[in-house]
Amino acid sequence: MENNLENTSQHSVIVTQISETSKRCRTNTSPSSPLDGRFVSLADFSTWKAKLLILETLLKSKDTTIADLTNQVSQLTIRIGNLENELKVANDKTMDLETQVEKQRQEQTPLRSWISVASQAVAQIEGKKVDRPQEQIEVLNSVVCEQKERERRKKYIIVFGVPMSSKTTQEGQVADDKGFIERAFKAIKIDVKKIKNIRRFKPNPNLNRPPPILIQLNGDSDRPFILRAAKELRKFSEYSGIYINPDLTEAERILDRKRREDRFNLNQQERSRSTSTRYFISGDRFRRFTVEPSCGADSQMHH
């Protein structure tokens, strides 16, 4: 029994100790005790939440700004491309203008020579003491108009001796004329692509020969080459009566007629002296050549 009492007494002591320990634990976890470091107060949580919302707003604003900047960069890239294209077009126009200026400068060279002729004419008028300045203006205007007309006709030649077509329709006649001209050009090795347009003049009822054909060429430089090659037509029986001449102004035709008359007179003088010397027209001058008795060149020079 003594042993049982001792055990009971010990058990009571242990229970009492456990109760004290429980009280202390409950006392330490009361609302008035300080929070453990693992927990955050409600005020701090609200502060951090507000800060997070602000950060999210800032991030969204930055995303919008980046998108706007990207769009602006794209627009600037497009504008730069357009400006480069405009600059290229401007450079091309500048080059074209420079080419035109150079061409006009070259074209003014013969104009200066004509102006010198006009100045001489004016000097003659002034030398006669004619007090009419209107005549001076008319002379200058005539010279300028003549020069412009010559420039315009540089792309034209006239073909004489082409027989009339037997076709009854205008389309058929035009086709025959075009075919004849192209065959003649090919015979003397002229590229038919140089031809831009072909038109036959209206027939003259007072003349018993076919009207000539006016040919417009594509370039200014084509005419001299064709006129030189036209001399070869006399070698072909089909084209022996075909002659190709430049399209001249009225003033040029007068001068050309005068040169031909002078050449004819010079050759007549040589014939009267029974010489073999003959003259031909070369530009604005006459050149001499020797006629072979058997070649018949003398008769050819009458054309």
- List, for residues 180-214, the tens digit of each pLDDT value: 999 999 999 999 999 999 999 998 888 889 999 99
211 and 289 inside one domain = no
The answer as to whether 54 is a domain residue is no
241 and 256 inside one domain = no
pLDDT computed for residue 64 by the predictor: 82
278 CB-near residues (< 8 Å, 6+ apart): 267, 270, 288, 289, 290, 291, 297, 298, 301
Question: Domain boundary residue among 131, 162, 187?
Answer: 131
Question: Domain boundary residue among 209, 231, 247?
Answer: 247
pLDDT computed for residue 302 by the predictor: 41
Q: Estimate the share of the chain in helix, then strand, then coil, as percent rounded to the nearest 5.
A: 65, 10, 25
Q: Which residues of the chain have pLDDT under 70?
A: 1-40, 103-136, 293-303
238 and 158 inside one domain = yes
In DSSP terms, 39 is beta-bridged to none
234 and 268 inside one domain = no
Write down the residue that tokens 């001449």 correspond to: 245
pLDDT computed for residue 109 by the predictor: 54
237 and 262 inside one domain = no
pLDDT computed for residue 159 by the predictor: 95
187 and 168 inside one domain = yes
Alpha-carbon distance 12 to 46, whole Å? 50
What is the distance in angstroms between the CA of the first residue and the CA of the last residue of the chain?
174
Amino acid in the structure at residue 164 = M
Write down the residue that tokens 């073999």 correspond to: 276
Q: Does residue 249 contact residue 147 with C-beta atoms inside 8 Å?
A: no
Burial of 242 (0-12, 13-18, 19+ CB in 10 A): buried
The answer as to whether 6 is a domain residue is no
Write down the residue that tokens 């890239």 correspond to: 77
pLDDT computed for residue 201 by the predictor: 93
Question: Domain boundary residue among 247, 269, 288?
Answer: 247
pLDDT computed for residue 122 by the predictor: 53
pLDDT computed for residue 1 by the predictor: 47
157 and 235 inside one domain = yes
Number of domains in the chain: 3
Burial of 185 (0-12, 13-18, 19+ CB in 10 A): buried
- At 283, list the tokens: 């530009």
pLDDT computed for residue 175 by the predictor: 94
The answer as to whether 162 is a domain residue is yes
Map residue 9 onto helix, strand or coil. Answer: helix
pLDDT computed for residue 10 by the predictor: 46
103 and 178 inside one domain = no
The answer as to whether 33 is a domain residue is no
- At 17, list the tokens: 């100790």
pLDDT computed for residue 223 by the predictor: 92
Q: Does residue 266 contact residue 246 with C-beta atoms inside 8 Å?
A: no
Alpha-carbon distance 151 to 100, whole Å? 15
The answer as to whether 204 is a domain residue is yes
| Helices 133-152 and 42-127, axial angle in degrees (round to 10) | 120
Q: Which domain holds residue 218?
A: 151-247
